[in-house]
Amino acid sequence: MRTSERTLVTDQAPTVFPPIVAPDADARAAAAARQEQLTKPPGSLGRLETLGNWIAACQGTCPPRPLQRTRVVVFAGDHGIARSGVSAYPSEVTAQMVANFRTGGAAVNVLAAASGATVRVVDIAVDADTAAEISTHKVRRSSGAIDREDALTADETAAAISAGAAICDEEVDSGADLLIAGEMGIGNTTPAAVLVAALTDTEPVLVVGRGTGIDDAGWSRKAAAVRDALHRAAPVGPDPQGLLRVAGGADLAAMAGFLAQAAVRRTPVLLDGAVVTAAALVADRLAPGARAWWVAGHRSTEPMHTLALAELDLEPLLDLQLRLGEGSGALAALPLVQAAVATLGEMATFADAGVSTADAGVSTADAGVSTADPA
């Protein structure tokens, strides 16, 4: 049974998630055994097989049920550090893109429609007034400039984590069977880089990428901002909630709460790019073991993304040199997940097809099928 239980203590006390239950090992074993009986050479579908087994384990049944409601939630928030020239775009673009998401004009909308997913955008910390239906969980207008001030107060951090968990509950309670977190926020790769650097003990110059396409001067400003924010965050060490408060942001904290709660609710997640994976690093510390409920959709061009994926021990499904965010990379990988579920659930077994596998050759007179070595 899925549970929405969580305990939230504000101020300096940590947000506590219940212990994470791993995906069902018996269902995974049954799926692996079924893969051996399908009309194909063992292991010939590669990672599609392990991906299908994972979905079966997440659902606790074999064969797995077809995915009926994939839901993308785009977490939007501004960051004070964007005013320091760490992005190729001004902060005002965040609110403009939120409006674009709502009218269906963004890449995430197009990619979601192509694979049968739906999109929800939530305003967590946009530095503008937005429509009531997307700002129910808003924590504040813009997070602080992390090179010289905390991103959030302790209470705002707890509120943002709780907001993300509540959003997850809303989606799972509405029938979502696969979740994707996306993000939109000018400047958000800077706090994300700080989180990854802090949690992987990596130097700033090794985590800082080009983000939206900054030039060399912009990269230098961004590296300096990450360095200064890391220095400010040093007193909180690896404490996940402390890092979110000092050097993260409301949107990152909400994503971390969302990803942790998805594991609590035993709902699989297809991770997107660098910013979402930075939040996932934090989420796995807020709810140890949550990573078992996630698969990495792709590897972005941001150097911090490779570091974060390695820390989580996740191998991405795609590497298409994407760096957009929004959930776009995860959506590009979604058809692979759907294919993995379909092949595991819908392919005939050797017994169903009347195919013999005796003597290292496979043949059937009725079907005219032979899978013996063609050489």
Note down pLDDT in tens along the chain; length 375 residues.
334 444 333 345 678 899 999 999 999 999 999 999 999 999 999 999 999 999 999 999 999 999 999 999 999 999 999 999 999 999 999 999 999 999 999 999 999 999 999 999 999 999 999 999 999 999 999 999 999 999 999 999 999 999 999 999 999 999 999 999 999 999 999 999 999 999 999 999 999 998 878 899 999 999 999 999 999 999 998 999 999 999 999 999 999 999 999 999 999 999 999 999 999 999 999 999 999 999 999 999 999 999 999 999 999 999 999 999 999 999 999 999 999 999 999 999 999 899 877 654 444 334 343 333 334
Residues belonging to the active site: 326
Measured CA to CA, the distance from residue 116 to residue 23 in angstroms comes to 25
Cα 173 from Cα 359, distance rounded (Å): 51
Q: Which residues pair with 270 in a beta bridge?
A: 295
Domain 25-65+341-370: assigned CATH number: 1.10.1610.10
CA distances from 63 to 58, 340, 349, 357 (A): 11, 11, 12, 22
C-alpha distance from residue 136 to each of 42, 122, 123, 157, 160 (Å): 50, 8, 8, 16, 12
Q: Within 13 Å, how many C-alpha atoms sit on residue 58's CB side? A: 29
- Of the candidates 274, 126, 89, 111, the one whose C-alpha atom is nearest the C-alpha of residue 197 is 274
**230-282 pLDDT tens trace:** 999 999 989 999 999 999 999 999 999 999 999 999 999 999 999 999 999 99
**Rounded Cα gap, residues 126 and 63, in angstroms:** 42
- The beta-strand segments (E) located in 43-198 are 70-77, 118-125, 178-184
Are 286 and 259 in contact, with CB atoms under 8 Å apart?
Answer: no
Residue ranges of the domains in the chain? 25-65+341-370, 70-333
- Total Cβ atoms within 10 A of residue 199: 19
pLDDT in tens, 305-315: 999 999 999 99
User: Which residue is associated with the tokens 């302790």?
Assistant: 154
CATH code reported for the domain at 70-333: 3.40.50.10210
What's the pLDDT score for residue 13? 65
